[in-house]
Amino acid sequence: PPSIDAGILTVMASFSSWNGQKITGNKTLITDVLKGRLGFEGFVVSDWNAHGQLQGCSNVSCPQAMNAGLDMYMAPDSWKGLYENTLKQVKSGEIPMARLDDAVRRILRVKVKAGLFDRVAPQVQGKFDRLGSADHRAVAREAVAKSLVLLKNDGVLPIKSGANVLVAGAADDIGKASGGWTLTWQGTGNTNADFPHGQSIWGGLKEAVEAAGGKATLAKDGKFSGTKPDVAIVVFGEDPYAEFQGDVANLAYQPNGKTDLELLKKLKAQGIPVVAVFLSGRPLWTNPEINASDAFVAAWLPGSEGGGVADVLVAGKDGKSRRDFTGKLSFSWPKRADQGPLNRGQPGYDPQFAYGYGLSYAKPAKVGALSENAGELGTAASVDRYFVAGRVPAPWMLSFSGAGAVKTIDAGAQENGRQATWTGEGEGLLAVQGPPVDLSRQTTGDMAVMVRWRVDKAPTAPVYLTVGCGESCGGRLDVTSTLSGLKNSEWRTAKIKLSCFQAAGAQMAHVSSPFGLSTSGPLTISLTEIQLASNEGDAFCPK
C-alpha cells in the first residue's frame, strides 16, 4: 500500500500460485484487491510467458489472463500469435471490449506520466562516470563486511599477522561470489574479466595478508609444497543460479557428491586449521562442513568487493582485528536438510542457528560438534540434472535399448563420461528415464536441454533427440545435421530449447524421459553432461 500511495505505476504478476491459483489468472487479487481495494491506477504486466501456465492457456492464447485483470502480456517470443488470438477473442466478445479499453487506458496513463508523449528527447540524468567510483566501491565493501555472519570460530579468526595462509576453493571467482542475475540471467559463464575494477575474495585476502607481513598462496585444490600453512581459508558454495536452476528438493548442500567437504577434511587431516567461507543465496544444511572447519563464515554473495571479506577475517599488522563481525542471520539456519520452511514462531521451530544469531570477536561462543543427521530427504527427482561429473542422480537412470550399447569412459577425469555405440543393425535408443517431473515452468522460462558430446563415428542415418512423456507421448527432433557438423573427436556443447520439444508434441507437465537419442544406423557418441540450462542466446531448435 505505501508504494501504491507513493505513485508506483507498474506491478508484475508473478509465476507463483496463491491458494492453488496462479497469480496471473487470479481476478480476486489483480482486479478486486489490487485495482479495487488498493486503488492501483497503473498497469499489471505478467512475467515471462507466465500466462501460458494458466489452465486452458498456451503462450499464444490466454484470454483468461486479461479477463482476470492483466493489462500487458510479457510475450518475448510468442507475441505474434498472442496478438492475433487476442484480437480474435476481443472481436468475438470472449474478452470484453471494456476490459481491453481499461488495459489500454492504464498503459497510456503510465506512458503519459512518464513523459513519453512530450516529443522531447530524453535527458540523461546522472553521471555515469560515477559508476564503480572509489567512494561507491567503498560503500559496497562496507556492505560486504557488515553482511558476513560468523557461525563458528574456535580461535582461528582473525588470521594473525605474519601468517602463512593457503587460500583454496573458489576464492578467485567473482562470478560465483556474485550469483545469478549478474550480467547474464543465471549468472553463469562469467569470468573475472567481466568485472572491471572488481576484486575477488582471493585478491582481498592476498592484499590484507601481505599488508600484515604474511604470505598468501592460492591453490584451488588445496595442494601446497614446502612449509605447512599456518591456516587454510577455503571458499566454496553454490554455483550461480536464478529461477528454475536454483530449485532444490531439500536444503542439503552438495547432496550428490560432497567434494567441498572432502577438501575441508583433507586439510584438517594434515593438521591445518581451516576457515570455511560459504557462498550462498540462502541458508543450507552444512553441518558436516561446519564440523570439518575451525571457523565457518556465511558470506552470502559478496560480489565484486572481496576486500570486504578480508577486512573482517584478517588482522592488521599490529595483530588486532581490523573490523569485527556485526552480521546476524536474517533467516534461520537449518538443523536438518528437511527443515523447509523454517521460520521463527511456527510450531516445532528448531533451527541449528536461530534467526538473529551471529558471533563476533567481542562476543565469542563455543560451537560443539553438530548432528550430521540430514533428516528425511525422500527420493525427489532432480528436475534439472541428469548426467553430471560421471554421475546419474537418483532416481534417474541412463540406459541403452536396442541395437547397441553404452560404456563408461574417461573424458578428462576418471570415469566421468559415457560412450554410446549404435551397431546399425536396427533401432537403438540411449535415454535418461525416471519418474515423471513437471518441466512446464522451465519450458515457459525458455530453458534448454544442454548436452556436452563428442562424435566418435559420424551418423549415416537420421538421428533423433527426444523428450518423452509416457507411452505414445513425446517430442522428437532431427539432430542429424547438428551432429554431422561436428568434427570427429572434438567436444562440443549444444543447447536445445525445451519449447522445441513441446512444439513437436511433448507434454512438458509430466516428462519421464528428459533426454533420448536414437538412430537406426551406425553411430558412436560420447557424453559428459546432460542437464537443463538457461538460454543465454545460445539455445536453438534443430533444423
CB-CB contact of 209 with 260 (8 Å): no
Residues 6 or more apart whose CB falls under 8 angstroms from that of 479 comprise: 463, 464, 465, 496, 517, 542
| Integer Cα distance of 167 and 216 in angstroms | 7
What is the C-alpha separation between 55 and 47, in angstroms, rounded? 16
**468 DSSP assignment:** E
Dihedral of the CA atoms 189, 195, 199, 201 (nearest 10)? -20
The residue whose grid cell reads 527443515 is 339
Supply the DSSP symbol for 228: P
Instruction: List the alpha helices (DSSP H) in 237-366.
Output: 259-269, 287-291, 307-313
Region of 503 on the Ramachandran plot (φ > 0 left; ψ -120 to 50 alpha; else beta) = alpha
H helix count then E strand count, the chain: 14, 21
Dihedral sign of CA atoms 337, 339, 343, 349 in order: negative
* Closest CA relative to residue 367, chosen from 383, 382, 352: 352
* Cell representation of residue 357: 544469531
- Integer CA distances (angstroms), 223 to 201, 257, 275, in order: 19, 20, 16
The three grid cell numbers given for residue 157, joined into one nine-digit string? 579468526
**Residues labelled catalytic:** 47, 243
Burial of 308-333, coded b for 16+ CB within 10 Å and e otherwise, reads: bbbbbbbbeeeeebbbebebbbeebb
